Amino acid sequence: MKFYTQQHKYYCGIDLHARTMYVCIIDHKGKIKFHDDMKTDPLLFFETIFEYIENIVVGVECVFCWYWISDLCADHNIPFILGHALYMKAVHGGKTKNDKIDSYKIASLMKGGNFPLAYAYPRDMRATRDLLRRRMYISRRCSEIVAHIQNTNTQYNLAPFKKRVSRKYNREGVAERFEDPAVKKSIEVDLSLIDAMNPILSSLEWHIEKTARQHDYKTLFLLRSIPGVGQLLVTPGRDHSL
């Protein structure tokens, strides 16, 4: 785990939420310069830190809503760091915990060189990564449905499928294996869901392959030279740290 050790005159720790955030600014001696709750308003936040903007670093825990504040800092050349949520809990965990205390602890971790870093994904590639995550979500749902069909087949001690049920041309007669109308209906629902999701998945993968190359084609080509690594696995924007 890497920690942020660069020294600054001011440290801004933020306990960030979707609509509000608790902001704590301390100086290099640990003295609190600002400590208050506010709305997640970019202009309001910029006005708050403007007095200290000459030498300040902004840090937040890695939660789902950090994109906008990272972009704001980037637009104004303010150093921004993202804290690894899991390791931060281990470092500043305690019995007493609220937004005010957490924001101060985040600022203190930054000042003391104990702020565990997570990778703040580049703005230009984040949308591609999020799209890949949606593709992974749909792909996993399809796999779960296929597993349900296979498990149901095993529950009734029927002969194993000779071919992969995930392939469309192998699914003929699958539901008819089951005599019970309720079980048969359940499998029909599974097959209908797969039929509905597969075209969406194919369209999504086509879009990713066509648009993601613009990010870093050289790296894409290099990663594809590894045996067993396919087009989507190496797509720039894929979070390889997960």
Which pTM was predicted? 0.80
d(C-alpha 26, C-alpha 12), whole Å: 7
**What digits encode the pLDDT tens for the residues 14-48?**
999 999 999 999 999 999 999 999 999 999 999 99
Beta carbons within 8 Å of 170's beta carbon, 6+ residues apart: 161, 163, 164
CATH class of the domain whose range is 3-118: alpha beta
**What digits encode the pLDDT tens for the residues 149-183?**
999 999 999 999 988 888 888 888 999 999 999 99
* Domain ranges for the chain: 3-118, 123-224
Comparing 236 with 4, the larger pLDDT belongs to: 4
Quote the tokens at residue 124: 């230009």
Contact 153, 161 (CB under 8 A): yes
CB crowding 10-22: b at 16 or more within 10 Å, else e: bbbbbbbeeeebb
Comparing 113 with 208, the larger pLDDT belongs to: 113
Q: What is the pLDDT of residue 214?
A: 65
Contact 235, 212 (CB under 8 A): yes
Q: Is 94 helix (H, G, I), strand (E, B) or coil?
A: coil
**Residue at token pair 């002969």:** 159
Q: If we measure between CA atoms, which residue out of 80, 60, 63 comes closest to residue 71? A: 80
Contact 15, 61 (CB under 8 A): yes
Which pLDDT band holds residue 236 (cuts at 50, 70, 90)? very low
Q: What is the pLDDT of residue 12?
A: 98
